[in-house]
Amino acid sequence: GAYYSDHGSGTVDCWEIVKSSNNTLSSKQSTLFYNETINNLAFKKIVSGEGFSCGGIREGGLVCWGPNSDSLRVSNVSESFLVLASAKGSICGILDSSREVKCWGDSDSFSGCPIGVHFISLTAGAYHFCGIREDDHGVECWGSFNFSSVPKHSGFMALASSDVTTCGIREDDLVLDCWSRNATLQPDYNPPLELCSPGLCRPTSCLEGEFAFNASNLNEPDLTSLCVRKDLQICSPCASNCSAGFFLSSPCTTNADRICTACSLCQNSSCWDVCGLQPSSEKNWHHMIRLAIIVASCISCFLLILLSWCFLPRMFATKPEEGTKKQFKSCIGKPDQLDGEATADLFPSVSVTSCPGTAQIFRLTELKDATNGFKEFNVLGRGSYGFVYKAVLADGRQVAVKRANAATIIHTNSRDFEMELEILCNARHCNIVNLLGYCSEMGERLLVYEYMPHGTLHDHLHGGLSPLSWSLRLKISLQAARGLEYLHKEVEPPIVHRDVKTSNILLDSDWGARIADFGLFTSSEKDLDLSGDMKSDVYRFGIVLLEILSGRKAYDRDYTPASIVDWAVPLIKQGKAAAIIDCYVALPRNVEPLLKLADIAELAVREDPSERPTMSDIVILLQQIVKDGLLL
């Protein structure tokens, strides 16, 4: 198609497509849609449904014509519309004045139409409508539709619909995301053809309220533009507001959309009111308290340094020389003792490896630069600890930075943080996500981990990413089991995960499985029943094995029973394990490994913890599948 187009407007003619005697298709002017009242009108937008057409008049207003147009009950409409969309028996439009949606016709097709919500884009299927919200570019659908299938956490640049399917282009990565009016998409569905790009390439500058899409956001080194000609660009509408729990940290500019940051990262008065963190009447008082604390701390530090300068030389003079400098022995970079030469430098560079093969200490400025200032588009995910950001260090390494939220910082003291760090950075294994370093400057608690480019196991099993072959699923099962076995058996003190699930199993560049999110701020060892908690890890790992085998989620209300354990275990015990095997992946010639994997999963999810194997037992069983030559 054309690389760009201009919006035109003019008069309307209607045609019918007819079949001639030699079975060829031709067109003739339609008498069914002839209406002399529209002959002198100029339109800027036209849509058609089942037996009717409607047009937005250039000067403002909406008229409909055709044999079924009376059923719409459109009359005396004077408003101007930004977008029109038509279902089979209804029509909806976005008002230019308020950006709200107004609909006519078959009420079942637009039941649940949002009231008071502002939209920038609209599309329609046979019996449903979907729109892109103005505030955060999220999607809402209404009418006869399966609302559970609508994406919840993505912003979209464009939408288009066929009769039962709606597709959109995600604005962060330009991936085509589709959802259906039914519970699931048919395997052979065809996405609407309109969505071939995130928008029209055009030669003019972006207007106010728009930004030029930057192809560098796609992280493709050789991709500089999505338009064939360098003088063309794609303009996208700016989002206006931030969702609840976020504040505006950077407004929309000509080259980038607005940036919203989580309220847990709010650190100054500019976002207090939006996030509701502190009444404005208390701000000055808190500033004074903070200033007093800083002044008192500075005076105390000065006195301490003065006393140390006076007395320490005398104390060390009575002891024999050590001869060599003590090295950093602590994994988290704290020296056991510093000699006189070391204390002379009060601010040494800490962006160095504190001991071979262990955690590196990072400056806060390094990690801010690496994450583009902890921008929203760098977010990989979030958990109870805080947000996880993709980062590129100055040396080119890609890493994942986990930033503690306010709740985590409040509920854990510095000593707990240091103890956890000691455990984390001593844990080293090829099947866990290893800690590379940390930063604890300016009240921040940042953990730097290896970056896993292939995402989570959950993404591939349930999130629409590339499906995994059976040989790869078996490999992932064994490697994840080895990672958990290492945490249970070889780390001192042992680490119990407590949240084993497919979203906490990540895939590295070689598609190797890595256990993530373990060991952070758990209960003290004296409060733990380690044996019982390890058995709980085994149970959750059994659920992971069932998800790998079946492709079903651990709990899914679209199925009966909703629990994967309640559904799969009876079938396995009846000798019908083949019935739970994922039907969307081609069966291998030899299904014996999958049946054995089902048996292992059934052992792991037994109700009586004493009947469950240990992770070491599971590793042996999975290795036996390989040893017996049962690889797929």
Cite the annotated binding site by residue number. Answer: 402
Backbone angles phi, psi at 459, to 5 degrees: -60, -40
**Could you report how far apart the first and last alpha carbons of the chain are, in Å?**
45
CA distances from 47 to 65, 85, 86 (A): 11, 6, 6
Is 395 labeled as catalytic in the residue annotation?
no
Q: Which residue reads 């609209």 in tokens? A: 122
Calculate the CA dihedral of residues 332, 416, 455, 224 and round it to 10 degrees. Answer: -60
Nearest Cα neighbor of 53 from 42, 41, 40, 66 is: 66
Give CA–CA dist 404/386, Å, rounded: 5
DSSP β-ladder status, 398-404 and 446-450 = antiparallel
SS3 assignment for 445-499: CEEEEECCCCCEHHHHHHCCCCCCCHHHHHHHHHHHHHHHHHHHHCCCCCCCCCC
Read off the amino acid at residue 189: Y
Q: Which residues are annotated as a binding site for ATP?
A: 402
For residue 133, what are the contacts with CB-CB under 8 A and spacing of at least 6?
117, 118, 119, 120, 139, 140
For residue 173, what are the contacts with CB-CB under 8 A and spacing of at least 6?
217, 218
Q: Which residue reads 């940051």 in tokens? A: 261
Other C-beta atoms closer than 10 Å to the C-beta of 492 total 9
Beta bridge partners of 540: none
DSSP β-ladder status, 360-361 and 435-439 = parallel
Give CA–CA dist 22/48, Å, rounded: 29
CA distances from 2 to 5, 159, 199, 205, 604 (A): 7, 19, 12, 18, 58
Q: Which residue reads 């709980």 in tokens? A: 536
**Catalytic entry in 177, 499, 508, 533:** 499
Q: Is 164 left (phi over 0), alpha (psi -120 to 50) or beta?
A: alpha
Backbone angles phi, psi at 174, to 5 degrees: 60, 20
CA 512 to chain centre: 21
424 touches 522 (CB < 8 A): no
Give CA–CA dist 415/419, Å, rounded: 6
Nearest Cα neighbor of 545 from 592, 469, 480 is: 480
Number of residues in the chain:
632
Read off the amino acid at residue 630: L
Q: Which residues of 85-121 are buried (b: 16+ CB within 10 A; e: fewer)?
A: bbbbbbbbbbbeeebbbbbbbbeebbeebeeeebbbb
262 touches 242 (CB < 8 A): no
Give CA–CA dist 333/328, Å, rounded: 6
Task: Give the chain's count of helices (H) and strands (E).
Answer: 12, 27
Residues carrying an active site annotation? 499
